A and B are shown apart, each in its own frame.
Chain A
């Protein structure tokens, strides 16, 4: 074993990681080389006191206030933008299921559907009021659009599309069966849901 090879194996020797043959070669070289023996004595063992160094050293001052101030809230994607609330994410699914189920149930109770009417049913006074409220809220929402995160806007639009689809389906069913009061109520329910969604979305945009 050369001096260079000994240096390469020094750490392994100190950790008892050499094979018996390698260890014998290592020690054989040491016994005949004063320089390497001196090296082992100098660097082989850890410096006295190292093992006794404290593993825990508290900082001189409380660092938490500064750390806390630097933590980004886990759910805030973009500062100043509104995070999508859970109710908004759930709205579409609930509406889609309830309205579709309602239409199906009413249609089944009413028997075979009549041929579709060429014209949609006349808007009643209540529908007109809902439509006006929805238009007002849509304008408010449009004006505050810049304050909402793109993902929130996309979710609102998806939910509105779902409601509009359910509303259109209800109105088509009503057009086929104009005397069905249950379908009439379903149309009004869809409107109520649409206005409610717009109202909450508008409030969300103005609160941010």
Chain B
């Protein structure tokens, strides 16, 4: 465990600030893809680091801090989804309400979306599984455990996500 982690665990905010600067890009990338929206991603990233500060004393260094933050980000995201029970915005980098009404479909047929936009346009569950499995490398068993879904559901959502992405990118 690094000295910075130990200092942050003991309450040193400057040390925690240094850890934030080291890991924020990685955490934000994940939050951006999970949330599917730049503003929601910024809020989620903040929540993850605040939660990390609270939970850091329990971090025992059994995994790398980056991995620990990563899983924490997923848990915070899933916890917020469960708590709010609200529909998430599914648009990545666009304010077009048409995408909210027809997730997974481009606003204008024939428009070629880039992959990030296409991921942001996926339905929430498919996006969650796709990001965790194909982008972040989690196994279905882990995803099922974290998300509280059956392993088969995780697989089905992944296949659905890939199919939707291919369709979106071919347009």
User: Which residue numbers of A lie inside 8 Å of B, CB to CB?
Assistant: 7-8, 10-11, 39, 42-43, 46-47, 49-50, 53-61, 63-64, 66-68, 70-75
In the complex, whether B53 has a CB less than 8 A from a CB of chain A is: yes
Nearest-neighbor residue (CB-CB) of B21 within chain A:
A64
A39 CB to nearest chain B CB (Å): 8
Q: Residue among A39, A53, A63, A67 with the most chain B CB within 10 A?
A: A67
Q: How far is the CA of A55 from the CA of B135 in the complex (A)?
A: 9
Determine which of B29, B53, B140, B166 lies in contact with A47 in the assembled complex, contact meaning CB atoms within 8 Å.
Answer: B166
Contact (Cβ within 8 A) A68 B116: no
Could you say which residues of chain B place their CB within 8 Å of the CB of A10? 155, 159
Q: A57-B32, A59-B28, A67-B46 are in contact. Are A47 and B41 (CB under 8 A)?
A: no
Nearest-neighbor residue (CB-CB) of A71 within chain B:
B53
In the complex, whether B25 has a CB less than 8 A from a CB of chain A is: yes
Could you say which residues of chain A place their CB within 8 Å of the CB of B11? 73-75
Contact (Cβ within 8 A) A71 B50: yes
Could you say which residues of chain A place their CB within 8 Å of the CB of B97? none
Contact (Cβ within 8 A) A68 B17: yes
Determine which of B13, B135, B156 lies in contact with A71 in the assembled complex, contact meaning CB atoms within 8 Å.
Answer: B13
Contact (Cβ within 8 A) A50 B115: yes
A-B pair number, CB within 8 angstroms: 85
Could you say which residues of chain B place their CB within 8 Å of the CB of A8? 152, 155
Shortest 5 CB-CB distances between A and B: which pairs? A74-B11, A56-B25, A57-B29, A43-B159, A43-B162
Task: Kindly state the interface size class of chain B when it binds its partner.
Answer: 35 or more
In the complex, whether B138 has a CB less than 8 A from a CB of chain A is: no
Could you say which residues of chain A place their CB within 8 Å of the CB of B163? 42-43
User: Which residue numbers of B lie inside 8 Å of A, CB to CB?
Assistant: 10-11, 13, 16-17, 20-21, 24-26, 28-29, 32, 38, 41-42, 45-46, 49-50, 53-54, 57, 115-116, 134-135, 140, 152, 155-156, 158-159, 162-163, 165-166, 169
Determine which of B29, B49, B140, B155 lies in contact with A67 in the assembled complex, contact meaning CB atoms within 8 Å.
Answer: B49
Q: A59-B24, A59-B28, A64-B20 are in contact. Are A50 and B134 (CB under 8 A)?
A: yes
Q: How far is the CA of A119 from the CA of B136 in the complex (A)?
A: 81
Could you say which residues of chain A place their CB within 8 Å of the CB of B20? 64, 67
- Where chain A touches its partner, the secondary structure class is loop
A195 CB to nearest chain B CB (Å): 33
Could you say which residues of chain A place their CB within 8 Å of the CB of B38? 60
Known: A8-B155, A50-B135, A64-B24; 4 extra A-B contacts, CB below 8 A, are: A8-B152, A42-B163, A47-B166, A57-B28
B94 CB to nearest chain A CB (Å): 15
CB pairs A–B below 8 angstroms (30 shown): A7-B159, A8-B152, A10-B155, A42-B159, A43-B158, A46-B162, A50-B115, A50-B134, A50-B135, A53-B115, A55-B26, A57-B25, A57-B32, A58-B25, A59-B41, A59-B42, A60-B38, A61-B42, A63-B42, A64-B24, A66-B46, A67-B46, A67-B50, A70-B46, A71-B16, A72-B53, A73-B11, A74-B11, A74-B57, A75-B11
Nearest-neighbor residue (CB-CB) of B152 within chain A:
A8
Q: A57-B28, A68-B13 are in contact. Are A46 and B53 (CB under 8 A)?
A: no
A5 CB to nearest chain B CB (Å): 12
